[in-house]
Amino acid sequence: MNSASPQFVSSRRMSVFDPIHQISMWGEGFKSNGNLSASMPLIDEADMKLDSQSEDASHGILGAPNKYDQEANKPTDKIQRRLAQNREAARKSRLRKKAYVQQLESSRLKLMQLEQELERARQQGMYIGGGLDSNHLGFAGSVNSGITTFEMEYGHWVNEQNRQITELRTALNAHIGDIELRILVDVMMNHYAEIFRMKSAAAKADVFYVMSGMWKTTAERFFLWIGGFRPSELLKVLGPLIEPLTDQQRLDIYNLGQSCQQAEDALSQGMDKLRQTLADSVAAGQLMEGTYIPQMTSAMENLEVLVSFVNQADHLRQETLQQMSRTLTIRQAARCLLALGEYFQRLRALSSLWSNRPREPA
Amino acid sequence: MHQALPGSPSTAGGSGGIMFKMVSENPVIVIGTRGCCMCHVVQKLLQGLGVNPPVYEVDEGDQSDVAQELSRKIVGGGDDGGVQFPAVFVGGKYLGGLEKVMAKHISGELVPILKDAGALWL
Q: What phi, psi does A224 have (nearest 5°)?
A: -65, 135
Residue A227, min C-alpha distance to chain B (Å): 17
As beta bridge partners, residue A64 has none
Pairing of strands B55-58, B28-33: parallel
- With a CB cutoff of 8 Å and minimum separation 6, the contacts of B66 are B11, B12, B19, B31, B58
Q: What is the C-alpha separation between B85 and B98, in angstroms, rounded?
A: 8
As beta bridge partners, residue B57 has B32
Pick A361 or B5 by higher pLDDT: A361
When the pLDDT of each residue in chain B is averaged and rounded to a whole number, the result is 82
Q: What is the C-alpha separation between A351 and A77, in angstroms, rounded?
A: 71
Q: Please state at what angle helix A48-59 crosses helix A9-17, rounded to 10 degrees.
A: 50
Q: State the sign of the Cα–Cα–Cα–Cα dihedral A216, A218, A224, A230.
A: negative
Count of Cβ atoms closer than 10 Å to residue A214 Cβ = 24
Q: What is the C-alpha separation between B108 and A196, in angstroms, rounded?
A: 23
Sheet architecture: strand order including B87-90: B55-58, B28-33, B87-90, B93-96
Of A305, A347, A316, give the one whose Cα is nearest residue A196: A316
* HSE, side-chain direction, 13 A CA sphere, residue A35: 6
Assigned fold of B2-116: Glutaredoxin (3.40.30)
Question: What is the rounded average pLDDT of the residues B88-109?
Answer: 94
Q: What is the C-alpha separation between B115 and B122, in angstroms, rounded?
A: 8
Using a CB-CB distance cutoff of 8 angstroms, which residues of chain B are in contact with residue A277? 35, 37
Q: If interface means Cβ-Cβ distance under 8 Å, which residues of chain B face chain A?
A: 35-38, 40-42, 44-45, 48-49, 98-99, 102-103, 105-108
- With a CB cutoff of 8 Å and minimum separation 6, the contacts of A191 are A157, A160, A161, A164
- With a CB cutoff of 8 Å and minimum separation 6, the contacts of A287 are none
Pick A123 or A234 by higher pLDDT: A234
Question: What is the rounded average pLDDT of the residues A197-206?
Answer: 94
Write the ipTM. 0.86
Q: What is the C-alpha separation between A106 and A261, in angstroms, rounded?
A: 55
Residue type, A344: F
CB A260 within 8 A of CB A320: yes
Q: What is the C-alpha separation between A205 and A214, in angstroms, rounded?
A: 13
Q: What is the C-alpha separation between A141 and A131, in angstroms, rounded?
A: 9
Q: Does A313 touch chain B (CB under 8 A)?
A: no
Of A319, A323, A324, A328, give the one whose Cα is nearest residue A178: A328
Q: What is the C-alpha separation between A151 and A140, in angstroms, rounded?
A: 10
**DSSP for A229-254?**
--HHHHHHHHGGGG----HHHHHHHH
Q: What is the C-alpha separation between B49 and B59, in angstroms, rounded?
A: 27
Question: What is the rounded average pLDDT of the residues A270-281?
Answer: 89
Looking only at Cα atoms, what is the longest distance across chain A?
Answer: 118
CB A139 within 8 A of CB A122: yes
Put simply, the answer to whether A312 touches B38 (Cβ < 8 Å) is: yes
Of A279, A240, A278, give the one whose Cα is nearest residue A257: A240
pLDDT score recorded for residue B66: 85
Put simply, the answer to whether A266 touches B38 (Cβ < 8 Å) is: no
CB B110 within 8 A of CB A256: no
Which member of B35, B37, B108 has the closest CB to residue A255?
B108
CB A27 within 8 A of CB A44: no
pLDDT score recorded for residue A120: 73
Q: Does A266 touch chain B (CB under 8 A)?
A: yes
Pick A353 or A42 by higher pLDDT: A353
- With a CB cutoff of 8 Å and minimum separation 6, the contacts of A99 are none
Question: What is the rounded average pLDDT of the residues A113-122?
Answer: 77
pLDDT score recorded for residue A11: 44
Q: What is the per-residue pLDDT across A51-96, written as a single tens digit (0 to 9) for each? A: 445 444 444 444 444 555 555 556 788 999 999 999 999 999 999 9
Using a CB-CB distance cutoff of 8 angstroms, which residues of chain A are in contact with residue B49? 262
pLDDT score recorded for residue A330: 94
Residue A128, min C-alpha distance to chain B (Å): 36
Confidence at A277, pLDDT banded by 50, 70, 90: confident
Q: Does A255 touch chain B (CB under 8 A)?
A: yes
Using a CB-CB distance cutoff of 8 angstroms, which residues of chain B are in contact with residue A305? 36-38
Confidence at A300, pLDDT banded by 50, 70, 90: confident
Q: What is the C-alpha separation between A354 and A351, in angstroms, rounded?
A: 5
Question: What is the rounded average pLDDT of the residues A176-196?
Answer: 96
Q: What element of type H or E holds B88? A: strand B87-90
